[in-house]
Structure 1
Amino acid sequence: MRIIPAIDIIEGKCVRLSKGDYDTKKIYNENPLEVAQEFEAHGIEYLHLVDLDGAKSKHVVNHKILEQIASKTQLKIDFGGGLKSDEDLRIAFDSGATQITGGSIAVKDRETFLSWIAKYGAGKIILGADAKDEKIAISGWEEESGISLVPFIKEFQKQGIEYVICTDISKDGMLQGPAFDLYKNILEKTKKWETRITGSGVEDEEVLGIHLIASGGISDYSELGKLADLGCEGTIIGKAIYENKISLKQLENYILEYGSQ
């Protein structure tokens, strides 16, 4: 399971929110690059970078920070927040994003989102499926769509989506544990079986499914093993790092023991 620390940006600073509420903003570092470089120094290869100003403004705002981190580290960055147009996407990739995450756009402008998958490939586009009471939430979580979570994911799975980040908003930033049951349900309901013929002519069934990245609520190192056992392909860790509930040394040891691929 990949370990993916999060950096959320407001006004150029590294912050965290609770349940997506901008009024709960807490600044952890004035310099996000310092934070990213510390992650990299502990063997971390991936970063989840969220432009919270962009999510609110409905267009990319903090792309210069993305560019700075991408140019001064080797981290593979998935970038989200405010990606609404082809131009926003171009800016994100030109600024060094390895992948982008689209959430609101997948709800409000499905055709544009699908065109991104067609243009850039499913490996570059992550579906952001953030939910409250198993309903999709959009626009920086300030708006509920009324769309049911699992059917939403399955619909985009049919369209070729491979990577899904799912945040249970009620858990985010609360340090009360992830939504294990929710992730188990998603993984079970998005499994597909494909029969293939091996080189010796024997039929073999392969289980295919989405690469589910868990996000929100992680509070203890022991929870990483539980998420991996469920089948999560990655996990995003935010406040647990910043509040010293999980140390970077622990994450470094996890990566050394289990690998990050």
Structure 2
Amino acid sequence: MLILPAIDLLEGRCVRLEQGDYGRVTRFGDDPLAVTRGFVADGAAALHVVDLDGARLGRPVHADVVLALCRETHVPVQVGGGIRAAEDVERYLEGGARRVVLGTVAARNAGWMGELIEQWGPDRVAAAVDARHGRVVVEGWTESGGVGVDSLLDQLELTGLRTVVYTDTRRDGTLTGPDVEGTARIVRRGFRTVAAGGIRTASHLAALRRAGAAGAVLGSALYRGTLTLAEALAAAAAEGATREC
């Protein structure tokens, strides 16, 4: 199982939000490049970067910073947040990102999602399925997407989508444990599933790997010190690690 440290950017800083609430922000670093270099030096084989300002505004805000991370780290980077236009997808993928992760687009325009997958390939375009009480949320988790998780996955199955990044937003930033069963349901539908939200311990990672998760995004656990990256990598290796992003 691949471990992806999270770099969430808000006002140019590395932060964590609790349950996606922009009013509950904890800042962990003023220099995203330094934070990123630290993760790579500690053994990270891939990174998960989100432009939180972009997610809320509906357009990339920190694209220059994100692309600098892609150039300097020399590990695969998957990028999300505010990617709504074809030129944004092209800028990131041509600029060095391994994969773009689309949430609002996936929920509201599955047809265009399919066109992007056809153009760039299924390994370079992923869907962010962000859910609260089984319903998809969009626009930086500030609005309902008007669709349930299962219904959205029904639509996305028709697009050629391969990778889903799944977050139970009620758990994100809380360290209360991931949604293992929700992850398993997506895995059973045949998607390569990366789980995020609530992970605190090595046992949480083991549970996700047993559920079939291909990867796990770690944020608050690393920043708050409940789990070191070395411990996370060891837990993933014990369960059968992959270094493929």
TM-score, normalised relative to structure 1: 0.89
AA in 2 matched with 1:229: R
2:21 is aligned to 21
2:37 alignment partner in structure 1: 37
Match of 2:70 in 1: 70
Is the counterpart of residue 260 in structure 1 residue 205 in structure 2?
Answer: no
One-letter amino acid of the structure 2 residue matched with residue 167 of structure 1 = T
| Letter in structure 2 aligned against 1:14 | C
1:225 counterpart letter in structure 2? A
Cα pair 1:64 1:95 within 8 Å, conserved? no
Measured at CA, do residues 185 and 259 of structure 1 come closer, stay the same or move farther in structure 2, by a change above 3 Å?
A: closer
**Contact residue 175 and residue 221 of structure 2 kept, 8 A:** yes
Q: Deviations over 1:183-218 (max 9, x none)?
A: 222323x1xxxxxxxxxxxxxxxxxx1101111000
Aligned to 1:245: 226
Aligned residues: 242
What RMSD over aligned residues (CA atoms) do the two structures have, in Å? Answer: 1.4
**Identity level (%):** 30
State the alpha-carbon separation in 2 of the partners of residues 115 and 186 from structure 1. Answer: 22
Matches for 1:124-135 after TM superposition, within 5 Å: 124-135=124-135
- Structure 1: which amino acid aligns with 2:204? E
CA distance in structure 2 between the aligned counterparts of 1:24 and 1:65, rounded to whole angstroms: 23
Aligned to 2:121: 121
| Partner Cα separation in structure 1 for residue 213 and residue 237 of structure 2 | 18
* Runs of at least 5 residues in structure 2 that lack an aligned partner in the other structure: none
Tell whether the 8 Å contact from 2:110 to 2:156 is kept in structure 1 after alignment. Answer: no
For residues 127-146 of structure 1, the aligned pairs below 5 Å read: 127-146=127-146
1:185 — aligned with what?
185
Task: Determine the C-alpha separation between the residues in 2 that align with 1:158 and 1:231.
Answer: 22
Cα offset, 1:51, TM superposition = 0.3
Displacement of 1:104 in angstroms is 0.2
Once residues 9 and 89 of structure 2 are traced to their aligned partners in structure 1, the CA distance between those partners, rounded to angstroms, is 18
Aligned to 2:101, the other structure's residue is in SS state strand
The structure number with the bigger radius of gyration is 1
Moved more, 42-51 or 85-94: 85-94
Q: SS of the counterpart of 1:130?
A: strand
Tell me the residue number matched to 1:96: 96
TM-aligned CA deviation for residue 96 of structure 1: 1.6
1-structure distance, mates of 2:42, 2:178: 24
**Structure-2 residue corresponding to 1:197:** none
2:152 alignment counterpart: 152
Mapping for residues 142-221 of structure 1, pairs under 5 Å = 142-188=142-188, 190=189, 209-221=190-202
The alignment partner of 1:170 has SS state of coil
1:45-56 map, 5 Å: 45-56=45-56
Q: 178-187 vs 123-132, which deviates more?
A: 178-187
